[in-house]
Amino acid sequence: MKQNLLFSILFFCLGTMLIGQSQRKVLIEHFTQASCGPCASINPVIQPIMERNKAKITKITHQVSWPGVDPMNKDNPGEVQNRVNYYGVTGVPDIFLNAYSSGNPTATITDATIQNEYLRPAPYEISIINKVLPDYNSMEVSVTVKLTGTFSGKPVLRVAALEKIISWTTPPGSNGEKTFYHVVKKYLPNTNGTSLADVNQTGQSKTFTFIYKFDKLYNFQNLETAAFIQDDATKEVHQSENLIVAFPANPGNDVAIKLSNATGVYGDSIVCGNKTSPIVKVINTGNKSITSLDFKYQVNGGAFSNYNWTGKLDFLKEIDIKLPAIDFVALKGQNNLSLEISAVNGDVDINTINNISNLTFQSAPSTTIHSTFEIKPTTQPTQLSFAIRDDQNKIILQDGPFTDNSSRTYVLDLEKDRCYRVSSTNNTASLNGTYKIFDEQINLIFQQRILGVGTVSRDFSTYSLVTGTHEPFNASVLFLTPNPANQEVFLNFDSEKTGIASLSFMDLTGKQIFEKQINLIAGKNKQAIAIHQLASGVYFARLFQDNQMRSMKFIVN
């Protein structure tokens, strides 16, 4: 009888302690490196342990910057270093289980240590929803936190985008490892995390939404997200969760423009002359194989060019398509490309919202046929040289290395409507000079500082450039600043004439959620639009006037 009473008391006490508590998922933060010799020995020992306990853990791997080469660290060195500093990591491999480390990874990570932490009740619940956005180049991560017990301290929610597995055909470092797991790509919004101070009542929950733009991914189909709650006062981790990102196929013909560039080279933003060949990266997001794509595109509101691509593109496969060159009236400074996929397999795309791309590029600065080139070396003139080539790669001027740091001036006799490139070569990491180009009226066309080891090039031309303020309405791209925003955005655009335009916002499903008539004046316009009523997420703004449209994607946070 006494034993039954004692059992009842113990059960009651234990039950009271567990009321409102949640099942804990254990966080493991792994610090390693592709050129770390001991890592290559220890990682294969602990990886199988974590794999057979994968339902009980959330794993995040940080590829650190030492002791040698690791390209994965270069993808996000700052945030990795922040976590190194947070724990005071001084050597790799090192590993933390709910912020605890024994110093020896094989002692920190065992079936028993994981099980012991897993059985400890947690005061929070975490759930994650990942939503790939229509451009298939970004995703929305929604994390809901619920307080199920009591907690005091400095709770912080940290969210990260990871690559579940990165496989190399040859080792990226010197230790022979070719496979890396759960590598952090980006913290959302950063490693500081989001305070949970206002989630302070048992049963209270709150959802946080983040946008992650895919960046420096080896295979976007290996994406996953991780979230954990950490007490910044003690570093103790109180809950974690992870979720693989799913990429469901849409029914029918569905493609998305993932990336585009007006210059024909991703990452470049300058076109020399009045002709360019755009490039576009397209992904098949539907369950039908794509064999035909119709493109229409224009620059600065000029005539449309059309192009039909044929081939084979299966689900989640990507292709870079180089579009035929298009002539355009080059504007001084900013130019605008409008590009659209108008048909897929000869039919309408089921989701056209991700088939439009509006982007800007710059014209190379233009000078006169009689110009002046000036260069001034600084600290180490013997380490500096330059060459100027025409658009046939013929050298028209070169000099250096120099014997002193005095300024040199050269006369350039150029040809009309030609492109030229200045290439400066510097063999020292310091600032080692400046060069300038002047036209025949001694107006400064552009200048360039020479900094860092290597060869750096800049283009210029003798083409005539049109002042951009005279461009027609449909040549302008709609600009919204700031982006992202949370209270209001400013619409910046040029209009050819005074009149009324219709502004609308649409969500990612294409549903219109906002419309407003606005008055335009001829010339530059800037208007504030309140957006505090919009939920966090990605939207498309469209401005219509006289059957002309311009659009832009923007983010509300």
Q: Given this model, what pLDDT does residue 500 score?
A: 78
Cβ neighbour number for residue 47 with a 10 Å cutoff: 15
Averaged confidence pLDDT in the chain = 89
What is the distance between the alpha carbons of residues 139 and 302, in angstroms, rounded to a whole number?
34
Contact 452, 425 (CB under 8 A): no
In this prediction, what percent of the chain has a pLDDT beyond 70?
Answer: 92
- CA 167 to CA 37: how far, in whole Å? 18
**Which pLDDT band holds residue 499 (cuts at 50, 70, 90)?**
confident
Sign of CA dihedral 522, 527, 533, 538: positive
Confidence grade of residue 123 (pLDDT, cut at 50, 70, 90) = very high
pLDDT at 473 > cutoff 50: no
Please give the average per-residue pLDDT across 196-210, as a whole number.
96
pLDDT tops 60 at residue 1 = no
Is a pLDDT exceeding 70 seen at residue 72?
Answer: yes
* CA 73/CA 284 separation, integer angstroms: 31
pLDDT at residue 417, as a whole number: 94
Instruction: Annotate 508-520 with b (16+ C-beta within 10 A) or e (fewer).
Output: beeeeebeeeeeb
With 50 as the cut, is the pLDDT of residue 253 above it?
yes
- Burial class, 262, CB count within 10 angstroms (exposed 0-12 / middle 13-18 / buried 19+): buried
Q: DSSP secondary structure string, 34-50?
A: TT-HHHHHHHHHHHHHH
Tell me the per-residue pLDDT of 261-302, one tens digit each, with 9 for 90 and over. 999 999 889 999 999 999 999 999 999 999 999 999 999 888
Confidence label for 482 from pLDDT (cuts 50, 70 and 90): confident
Mean pLDDT of the region 490-510 = 75
Q: How confident is the model at residue 509 (pLDDT cuts 50, 70, 90)?
A: low
Dmax (CA) of the chain: 109
- Whether 312 shows a pLDDT value over 80: the answer reads yes
Strand order, beta sheet including 499-506: 512-520, 499-506, 537-545, 548-556
SS3 (DSSP) at 455 = strand
pLDDT of 400: 95
Report the distance separating Cα 386 and Cα 374, nearest Å: 11
Share of residues in the chain with pLDDT > 90 (%)? 73
On the CB side of 453, CA atoms within 13 Å amount to 3
Sorting pLDDT into bands at 50, 70 and 90, what band is 527?
confident
What is the mean predicted confidence (pLDDT) over 385-406? 96
Q: Which residues pair with 205 in a beta bridge?
A: 146
Candidate from 9-23, 356-370, 525-539, 543-557 with smallest mean pLDDT: 9-23
* pLDDT band at 548; cut points 50, 70, 90: low
User: Does residue 49 have a pLDDT over 50?
Assistant: yes
DSSP tag of 535: P
Task: Report pTM.
Answer: 0.74
Q: Residue 23 pLDDT more than 50?
A: yes
Kindly state the average pLDDT of the residues 509-537: 79
**Beta-sheet pairing, 270-271 with 356-363:** parallel
pLDDT exceeds 70 at position 154: yes
For residues 382 and 402, the answer to whether their CB atoms sit within 8 Å is: yes
User: Contacts from 139-142 at CB under 8 Å and sequence distance 24+?
Assistant: 139/211, 139/212, 139/214, 139/223, 139/245, 140/209, 140/210, 140/211, 140/537, 140/538, 141/188, 141/209, 141/210, 141/211, 141/212, 141/225, 142/207, 142/208, 142/209, 142/210
Question: Residue 74's closest CA among 60, 64, 84?
Answer: 64
Q: How many CB atoms lie within 10 A of CB 310?
A: 8
Local confidence band at 4 (pLDDT 50, 70, 90 cut-offs) = very low
Q: How does pLDDT run across 158-202, given as a tens digit for each residue?
A: 999 999 999 999 999 999 999 999 999 999 999 999 999 999 999
d(CA 241, CA 129): 11
Contact (Cβ atoms closer than 8 angstroms) between residue 330 and residue 271: yes
Q: How many Å apart are CA 165 and CA 162, to the nearest integer?
A: 9
Highest mean pLDDT among 106-110, 298-302, 533-537: 106-110
**Tokens standing for residue 341:** 């996929």
Whether 498 shows a pLDDT value over 70: the answer reads yes
pLDDT value of residue 20:
54
Higher pLDDT, 414 or 523: 414
Instruction: Indicate whether 13 pLDDT > 50.
Output: no
Other C-beta atoms within 10 Å of 89: how many?
Answer: 20
Residue 385 pLDDT grade (very low, low, confident, very high; cuts 50, 70, 90)? very high
Which of the pair, 192 or 492, is modelled with greater confidence? Answer: 192
The 10s digit of each residue's pLDDT in 217-249 is: 999 999 999 999 999 999 999 999 999 999 999
pLDDT of the residue at 467: 63
User: In 3-state terms, what secondary structure has residue 190?
Assistant: coil
Q: Which two tokens stand for residue 474?
A: 């449909």
- ∠ at Cα 134 (547, 243), nearest 5°? 160
Per-residue pLDDT tens for 344-353?
Answer: 999 999 988 8
- The per-residue pLDDT for 12 is 36
